[in-house]
Structure 1
């Protein structure tokens, strides 16, 4: 891997690092410690000199997100460590470290790690690779509340349920994702999400009754859907927030979907296949 057009010549099975330039020639396979040493060296070489106190904070954050990422990769399957030799993956590792080091935030870190793991695992699917790269760039640029909004739009608009799936489970999923956050018609929140290429705001709207009616095949008609909403506290809250904000006008982009899928895994452990919604 090489940056900035300058090279360092090295022999087989060696790794050289100099400032902003990194050349890696390694034929013997990578271990956890190899990847960590290389990634931290790249990070230190490229981040600005901001003073000892700030540098300590930045280094701690960069190392923490890297450790969490590598541990998660190894627990998933140690063979995925080899994928970090891909120059594109090496670059997004650095970008994730940089963005977390700048702003911190536990929820941001978890979402960056989950998305980075997804990006490392996926190989040979160009569109998903590009979408996940963009998601890693966007996550630090939006707020936790905005991430919740994207996820709620996703599970209410883009996920359908089989007839045997209990509506109570769907209601509980909404509650876990919402985390007691209230959503109102704050135009700037949705405007920024649109600017960040996470969603598009349409003139047309979808009433929450229609959402519930179309989501569950066992519900027959809007009257039954309304009754179910009124009898369930969480669905009633969602109905009010949905119909009185721009959630009812929003369509997610591929990046918005990728962020929502990663957030569901972080919050609930549910592992949705991104390929259902994003295909070549």
Structure 2
């Protein structure tokens, strides 16, 4: 039966039985958003037994309540995204996936993806990626989602640290919570690849030692004698921005910035790109041997024993934009916060 509603100025209209239409001039309240969200999720989702339908309705109620709470905290221009049929489709997909699976972890991941989708401009790359992530995330196991989170955190992100203790504290907080879910099974990684979340680069993986020596060399310096420093860099020996006492051998020196990227930011201070490159090379070539780094990491974070066991395969993953979006949502779900997804998914 055809349903029709008409509204005048300052009206708020809703229509179920197909796409939900919203004519919103005053902004949606929490209850308005919840009603629209529930209607979108429930459309064409009634062919269940009474017991199953009760469970489904309970899950819809949870998803719509939580999504409404999150959306009501966004600026009005983002709330208006609820009028977009593409957003409504994403809401429907997320709601139905949670209704089928019913895990709190999946609900939180989908809610984070949905919230990000409401802030993404229509037809943008970010919106497209988030749409795909909302469809694919429920098709992954919790282990697969954790695998994406670890690969993203170690291979595609870094955070400021200036000591070994700071590095271990960061890794303990941002990586260790996922390690217990990691597996060695090739099937896990091939499934991620088949769904477009990542490519498995069998002959071009990144070792954990490469990760630590690239992103956190300041935490693993072997130490330098003053005479080991190239002559062009010796005028900077007294400069605490450039050199400091070695954390592992205080009688020696080490390069002070965190990594090569941090050194680049000091280009003007150093006096040019050639000096930057020389300092980067000095730091890169002065990292402790792999076995020593491994022992230090495992002593500080015993959970990393398992990470080393699975890394031969996990380190070969090259995440797609969809894989990054899911990894970001999983990280936010587990840790409570995360950087802006637009850092990795943008059209600049």
> TM above 0.5, one fold?
yes
- Tell me, in whole angstroms, the C-alpha distance in 1 between the residues paired with 2:209 and 2:331: 23
Give the structure 2 partner of residue 10 of structure 1. 6
- Tell me, in whole angstroms, the C-alpha distance in 1 between the residues paired with 2:324 and 2:142: 15
Show structure 1 runs of 5+ residues with no match.
1-5
Q: TM-score, normalised by structure 1?
A: 0.87
- Report the alpha carbon displacement of residue 163 of structure 1 after superposing the two structures with TM: 4.8
- 1:109 aligns to 2:107 (yes or no): yes
- Tell me, in whole angstroms, the C-alpha distance in 2 between the residues paired with 1:55 and 1:18: 19
Larger Rg: 2
- 1:223 aligns to 2:219 (yes or no): no
Q: Is the 8 A contact 1:7 1:22 kept in 2?
A: no
Q: Is the 8 A contact 2:120 2:126 kept in 1?
A: yes
- Tell me, in whole angstroms, the C-alpha distance in 1 between the residues paired with 2:16 and 2:69: 27
- Report the alpha carbon displacement of residue 191 of structure 1 after superposing the two structures with TM: 1.1
- Tell me, in whole angstroms, the C-alpha distance in 2 between the residues paired with 1:101 and 1:182: 26
Instruction: Give the 3 Å change call, closer, same or farther, for CA 182–149 of structure 1 in structure 2.
Output: closer
- Report the alpha carbon displacement of residue 107 of structure 1 after superposing the two structures with TM: 0.8
- 1:87 aligns to 2:93 (yes or no): no
- 1:176 aligns to 2:150 (yes or no): no
- Report the alpha carbon displacement of residue 256 of structure 1 after superposing the two structures with TM: 0.5
- Deviation string 1:76-127 (CA, Å, 9 cap, x unpaired) is 5576433322222222111111111112111101111111111112336701
Greater shift, 253-262 or 267-276, is seen at 267-276
Q: Is the 8 A contact 1:43 1:97 kept in 2?
A: yes
- Report the alpha carbon displacement of residue 14 of structure 1 after superposing the two structures with TM: 4.7
Greater shift, 90-99 or 148-157, is seen at 90-99
- Tell me, in whole angstroms, the C-alpha distance in 2 between the residues paired with 1:177 and 1:77: 33
Q: Which structure dedicates a bigger proportion of its chain to helix?
A: 1
Instruction: Give the 3 Å change call, closer, same or farther, for CA 226–158 of structure 1 in structure 2.
Output: farther
- Tell me, in whole angstroms, the C-alpha distance in 2 between the residues paired with 1:23 and 1:140: 27
Q: Is the 8 A contact 1:8 1:16 kept in 2?
A: no
- Tell me, in whole angstroms, the C-alpha distance in 1 between the residues paired with 2:287 and 2:206: 13
2:35 to 19, 25, 37: 37
Mapping of 1:111-190 within 5 angstroms?
111-123=109-121, 126-164=124-162, 166-172=166-172, 173-178=174-179, 180-184=180-184, 186-190=185-189
- 1:26 aligns to 2:13 (yes or no): no
- Tell me, in whole angstroms, the C-alpha distance in 1 between the residues paired with 2:27 and 2:159: 43
Secondary structure of the residue aligned to 1:17 is coil
- Tell me, in whole angstroms, the C-alpha distance in 1 between the residues paired with 2:193 and 2:182: 20
- Tell me, in whole angstroms, the C-alpha distance in 2 between the residues paired with 1:29 and 1:161: 38
Greater shift, 136-145 or 210-219, is seen at 210-219
Instruction: Give the 3 Å change call, closer, same or farther, for CA 183–42 of structure 1 in structure 2.
Output: closer
- Tell me, in whole angstroms, the C-alpha distance in 2 between the residues paired with 1:67 and 1:16: 18
Show structure 2 runs of 5+ residues with no match.
222-285
- Deviation string 1:114-158 (CA, Å, 9 cap, x unpaired) is 111111123367011111111111111000000010011011110
- Tell me, in whole angstroms, the C-alpha distance in 2 between the residues paired with 1:216 and 1:99: 39
- Tell me, in whole angstroms, the C-alpha distance in 2 between the residues paired with 1:134 and 1:115: 10
RMSD (CA atoms) = 2.3
